[in-house]
Amino acid sequence: QQVDGGWGTHIESPSTMFGTVLNYVALRLVGVDAKTLECEKGREFMRQHGGALYAPSWAKFWLAVLGVYEWKGIAPVPPEMWLLPSWFPLHPGRFWCHCRMVYLPMCWLYARRFTYKAADDPVTSALRCELFPDQTYAQIDWRRHVHSVAVIDNYSPIHPFMRWLQEALLVYERFGPWKWLRKISSDFALEYINSEDLETNFLTIGPVSKALHLLVSWVEAGGDANASESRSFKAHVQRVPAYLWVAEDGMKVQGYNGSMAWDTSFAMQAAVDSDLVSEFKDMSKKAWSWLVKEQVRSLPYGDWKHWRQPIQGGWGFSTAEQAWPVSDTTAEAFKAVLLLRKQSCMKGESGQMPDQHLFDTVRFLLSYQNGDGGWATYENNRGWSWYELMNPSEV
């Protein structure tokens, strides 16, 4: 918490409504009393910026799930988008992976309009008052605040074209949607979510989607009554610690499940360049074995039903089990492997990595080159620069 009473979106950020609303809610949920000085300062910061009605869209989404904001005030996230023909320019499969993998679980939750029974819980019932100062929750015009966002959070203002599109979708949500179409699209979204869980060993592509997948698994299992029996939910809970980082100033969530492959690659390149490999043979052999083990061997032909191109032969930023390799880490890890193979002390170790695995890396890197000559990160570019006009979030 900062001196102005608010919280930033990240640890180096000035106070935002995004950070303040979510951190305030988190404190209240873990038992901090609303009368503490910290909470009073947080509420005053929110009051100065219009209350939670002026939080950005992702914050509002989480509030709606918690039952302290109404779905009427949420910009539509229709799962029907996934049923568009693959050639359609606005098919979400063409969007950047981090974008589509966040809105994938969002669209399923949105279609269900899942909401915690906030009125039955004294804490969430109190939050309905605390988050909206000088207003009565039951009398708020939620529809009027779909696009409301505080100036301090409006980092990337929603383009007028996107606002028009969201307004059109709000009309669709009001007079529709067709039940049969929503069911088919929601079922596909859930199947896609489950596929991503299995392909990434329940890590997903990052912590934002991870939290949403965890919630989806709980809701899909039937909530508290049955979640303890759900394999998917239990697996998600077990993988939460992969994102947690305990530092000297407390616990945070990392932006990834680590940077092990990235760090190891550079460390071993430095060891080779400094002629330290022969001096630290055991360390070098362990690093070699680790790099060999963490090369991605899955999806040799991709998973095009779920918009995954072939990834065999790559290295991810963290580990192979996360199964989202990137071109830059792959290039650095490949360089480290090739350098280590040439070291005399590594003789007998190279058998751990057959030549075919090296060929797979070459094929992976070549396949990630875009049509303009440059390289993509997670996957080839599938869209156009005008997609920026359709950024639905303010972040």
Q: How far apart are CA 377 and CA 375, in angstroms?
A: 7
Q: How many CB atoms are located within 10 Å of the residue 293 CB?
A: 12
Packing angle, helices 281-293 and 260-273, rounded to 10: 140
Q: Would you list the DSSP string of 81-113?
A: GGGS-TTSTT-GGGS-HHHHHHHHHHHHHHHHT
- Give the pair of three-digit tokens for residue 377: 């990160």
> Contact at 8 Å (CB) between 131 and 21?
yes
Q: How far apart are CA 330 and CA 311, in angstroms?
A: 11
Considering the candidates 328, 355, 360, 372, report the single residue annotated as catalytic.
328
Pairing of strands 244-247, 250-253: antiparallel
Q: Burial code of 248-287, b = ≥16 C-beta within 10 A, e = fewer?
A: eeeeeeeebbbebbbebbbebbebbeeeebeeeeeebbeb
CA 307 to chain centre: 17
> Contact at 8 Å (CB) between 277 and 284?
yes
Active site (annotated) includes residue 120? no
Who contacts 21 (Cβ-Cβ below 8 Å, separation ≥6)? Answer: 46, 52, 55, 59, 63, 131
CA gyration radius, the chain? 24
- Give the pair of three-digit tokens for residue 9: 């979106």
Contacts 24+ apart (CB under 8 A), 234-242: 235/197, 235/202, 236/197, 236/202, 236/210, 238/202, 239/201, 239/202, 239/203, 239/210, 240/210, 240/214, 242/203
Q: End-to-end CA distance of the chain: give it in Å, rounded.
A: 20
Q: How far apart are CA 93 and CA 393, in angstroms?
A: 18
**C-alpha angle 36-41-46 in degrees, rounded to nearest 5:** 125
Active site residues: 328
